[in-house]
Amino acid sequence: MPVLHLPHLLLPLFFVILLLSAVTMASDRDDDTHYDRISLQATASDEIENDILETTLSVQREGNNPSALSKEVNAAIQWAIGEAKKVNGVTVQTMGYQTNPVYQQRRLSAWRVRQSLRLESKDIADLSQLIGKLQERLTVDRVGYRISVQRRNTVEENLITEAIALFQRRAELVAKQMNRDRYRVVQMNINTGGGVPVRPMMRAEMSAMADARIAPGFEAGTQTVTVSVSGTIELQLD
């Protein structure tokens, strides 16, 4: 049998051609197994009670002396921080300090200084009392409820188990209806939705609370946590 001799310059090209041929043959074989694939989806959800109350309060002053205004705002915020630290379990965060000019008819007429304070706690009753106290000097901008990360993670893990089990039952049902004894999972995606949404108070509630200037009553309510499992199964021929 004659021996094939190739110039050194042609050897790399020769091996590339062989490699491409092998890949093409493998792809052809893979295509032969891509029959009887079916996409499925399963969803599990649960109503979970919100366990964290959070609020944003602010203090704003307006006048001609920005330095004096800044001192007033800072004093009010420091007072609020001091009151908040007296309550166990309350997380305090200062936010959004702003000094802005106020114009009338394109002329500088005053200065506006503003700063916000964010509070959150799992003890809704205690935080409600604190909000009522802080309204003596601050304005409530926003109140909302959310599920803590720890509780959400626990719930999602249970829902993942439930959703996968439902996916498997549906896959088995499809295989049975198609007169197949078994199947294999080709691909699976798990979507937990992500994020930690906050349910805000209604504007009417906020207005009533601001007018009352007393400790408001809150009902945390619930949120729906959902986990979806989607994927592709392949029915087996034997």
Stretch 62-89: mean pLDDT, rounded? 96
| pLDDT tens sequence across 81-126 | 999 999 999 999 999 899 999 999 889 999 999 999 999 999 989 9
Same domain, 80 and 157: no
Residue 28, domain member (yes or no): no
Whether the Cβ atoms of residue 90 and residue 120 lie closer than 8 Å to each other: yes
- Check residue 160 and give its pLDDT: 97
Site of tokens 């601001």: 210
- Smallest CA-to-CA distance from 132 within 73, 83, 203, 200 is with 83
Q: Specify the pLDDT at position 204.
A: 41
The one-letter code for the residue type at 91 is T
pTM of the model: 0.66
Asked whether residue 190 is domain-assigned, the answer is yes
Residues above pLDDT 90, as percent of the chain: 68
Pair (104, 140) in one structural domain:
yes
What pLDDT, in 10s, does the model give residues 3-53? 555 455 554 554 545 455 544 554 454 555 567 899 999 999 999 999 999
Is pLDDT at 54 greater than 50 in this prediction?
Answer: yes
Q: Which of 146, 174, 202 is the last residue of a domain?
A: 146
Does residue 98 sit in helix, strand or coil? strand
Point out which residues pair with 178 in neighbouring strands: none
Instruction: Tell me the average pLDDT of the chain.
Output: 83
Last residue of a domain, one of 146, 169, 202: 146
Characterise 59 by phi-psi region: left (phi > 0), alpha (psi -120 to 50), beta (else). beta
Regarding whether 59 and 42 lie in a shared domain, the answer is no
Residue 86 domain boundaries = 53-146
Residue 71 has pLDDT above 90, yes or no: yes
Are 71 and 132 contained in the same domain?
yes
Q: Which of 60-69, 76-85, 196-205, 219-228 has the lowest mean pLDDT?
A: 196-205
Nearest to 84 by CA among 156, 138, 143: 138
pLDDT exceeds cutoff 80 at 162: yes
Structural contact between residues 227 and 45, judged by C-beta atoms closer than 8 angstroms = yes
Residues 63 and 110: beta-carbon distance below 8 Å = yes
Higher model confidence: residue 189 or residue 24? 189
